[in-house]
Amino acid sequence: MDQMDWHAAKALLEWQMEMGVDAAICDAPVDRFAAEAELRAQHAARAQSSGVAQAGPVPKVEEVDPVAEAQALAAGAQDLDGLRAALAGFEHCQLKKGARNLVFADGAPGARVMLVGEAPGRDEDLQGKPFVGQAGQLLDRMLAAVGLSRVDSVYITNVLPWRPPQNRDPKPDEIAMLIPFLQRHIALVNPDVLVIMGNTSAQALLGRRGITRLRGQWQEAAGRPALPMLHPAYLLRTPGAKREAWADLLALQAKLRTLT
């Protein structure tokens, strides 16, 4: 083989370096597996000669069932403050790592109406309260139209207490591990009526999706009457659906009268 020109060799080397090459190839092949085995044998021999016992197999780490742990934590909460502390201490939901705040609840704890939304958005994540953005402002106006208010007659929470990245839909495993906290939340508040807003809430409390078909039809969830409704965020995108939302609010108002 003709000897390569020095300039050509230099250009070829520079090209290889630019492509990411960081090691020279030896003239003879190297058996890396054999070299690694020999290195392990040398370490073992040194450890034996120095009287240091070799480490045994790494013990298997027991897998934690996040749903079972959530059930235990939720069951141990004796009041709303205890439930908030239990949620804050739950470490198995990855959403917690990317959220700014735990969004627990807002409104009157002794209210007859408990409203369950889906998950916090940007504004809710910043303020640590549910329904405080544009959708929340619309919700307040909707409630006021039938004589309700989060100040004294409505208690509000979400299925998820932490904001999903980019407001994506919650994943099934996220919903599953947080349902025990929601169920305990409902039991502690003990409202007369549940309002289920949005598909995620319907999935969590009714085991069904398709809120546009479910809305306005009274169901039972957590042992009490439950009314699925369109989420205010949907109403902002689809103003024509406000007529259906108004009909649902009137149905809610009528149901409260029958339960007095």
What the block records as the tokens of 6 is 């020095």
- Region of 236 (left: φ > 0; alpha: ψ -120 to 50; beta: rest) is alpha
Q: Which pLDDT tens digit goes with each residue over 73-121?
A: 999 999 999 999 999 999 999 999 999 999 999 999 999 999 999 999 9
Q: Which pLDDT tens digit goes with each residue over 117-156?
A: 999 999 999 999 999 999 999 999 999 999 999 999 999 9
Q: Which pLDDT tens digit goes with each residue over 223-259?
A: 999 999 999 999 999 999 999 999 999 999 999 999 9
Say if CB 122 and CB 83 are below 8 A apart. Answer: no
pLDDT greater at residue 41 or residue 172: 172
What is the value of pTM for the model shown?
A: 0.76
68 secondary structure, DSSP code = H
Confidence band, pLDDT 50/70/90 cuts, at residue 3: low
- CA-to-CA distance for 260 and 239, rounded, in angstroms? 33
Say if CB 195 and CB 207 are below 8 A apart. Answer: no
